[in-house]
Amino acid sequence: MTTGVRRRMGVEERRQQLIGVALELFSHRSPDDVSIDEIAAAAGISRPLVYHYFPGKLSLYEAALRRAADDLAQRFEEPQDGPLGARLIRVMGRFFDFVDEHGPGFSALMRGGPAVGSSTTNALIDSVRQAAYVQILMHLGVTDPPPRLELVVRSWISLAESTALIWLDGRRIPRRELEAQLVHDFAALAAVSAAYDEEMAGLLRHILADEPADGTFGDLIGRLVALAPAPAPSGS
C-alpha cells in the first residue's frame, strides 16, 4: 500500500488554482461576500499563503475577474459563415451560458461594488465591450463604421448586458426566448437607423439579402406582419 503525497505546486500553478477557486465561489455569491479565508479553505492552504501569492484581497479579485472577462470576450467570437441572424443566435447562447454559470459574479462585475469597482476592473469591463463591438463589426464586414452603425452596435451591447442582469433577478423569462429577442432587437435597432440614413439602409439590405425566409430575421418579420391589423373589407 502506498500513501498519497500532496504535490507541491509551482508559483504560477498555485496562482492559477487560487484564481479558479475564487471564480468558482463567485459563481454562487458576489465577490464582496467571499472572504480570503473561504478562498484559502477551498484551495486547501492557509490564509497567509494566499497573501504570499497575491499581495491583497483586491489583487486576487482583479486577477479572477480578468480571467472571467477574457472568457466572456471570447464568447462573442464566431466563424463568419452563414446568415448573420444564426451567428448572433449562437453568440447570444454562449453569452447567456456565461451569465448562467457566473450569475452573482457577472452581476457584481457589471454593477460595480467595493471589490470590483477599481479602475482596473472598470477597464476590464470596457475591454469586454470593445471586444464584442469589434466582433460584431467583423460579422457585418465593416472596418470603418459610420456614426449611426457605431451607435446601433454599442447600444445593442449595452442592451444585452442590461437584459442579462434583469434576467438574473428571478429568471422569469425563458432564456432561449431572450436570446432570440436580443437578436431581433439588433435587427430592430438597425432597421430604425436605416429609416433615417441611406448608408444604414444599404447595410440592412445587404444583411437581409443573405437571410433565409425561415431564419432568425425572417421569423421577426413574420411576427411583425402578424401584428398588423387586417385590412378593412372593400365596399363596406
Q: What is the pLDDT of residues 10-33, one digit of tens each?
A: 888 999 999 999 888 888 887 888
Cβ burial 87-105 (10 Å sphere, 16+ → b, else e): bbbebbebbbebbeebbbb
Name the residue with higher pLDDT: 156 or 33: 156
Q: Which long-range contacts (CB under 8 A, 24 or more apart) does 38-43 make?
A: 43/17, 43/18
Grid-cell match 469589434, residue found: 134
Q: Which of the residue ranges 57-71, 99-113, 124-138 has the most confident prediction, judged by mean pLDDT?
A: 124-138
Angle at 95 between CA 185 and CA 116, to 5 degrees: 110
What mean pLDDT value characterizes the chain? 87
pLDDT at res. 2 = 41
Distance CA 91, CA 95 (A): 6
Distance CA 89, CA 74 (A): 15
Query: For the chain, how big is the Rg over CA atoms in Å?
Result: 23
Using the predicted structure, report yes or no on whether residue 62 has a pLDDT greater than 80.
yes
Instruction: Show Cβ contacts of residue 129 under 8 Å, excluding neighbours closer than 6 positions.
Output: 154, 157, 158
pTM of the model as a whole: 0.84
Burial class (CB in 10 A: 0-12, 13-18, 19+), 163: buried
Q: CB of 109 within 8 A of CB of 118?
A: no
Portion of the chain with pLDDT greater than 90, in percent: 54
> What is the tens place of the pLDDT at every residue in 30-46?
788 889 999 999 999 99
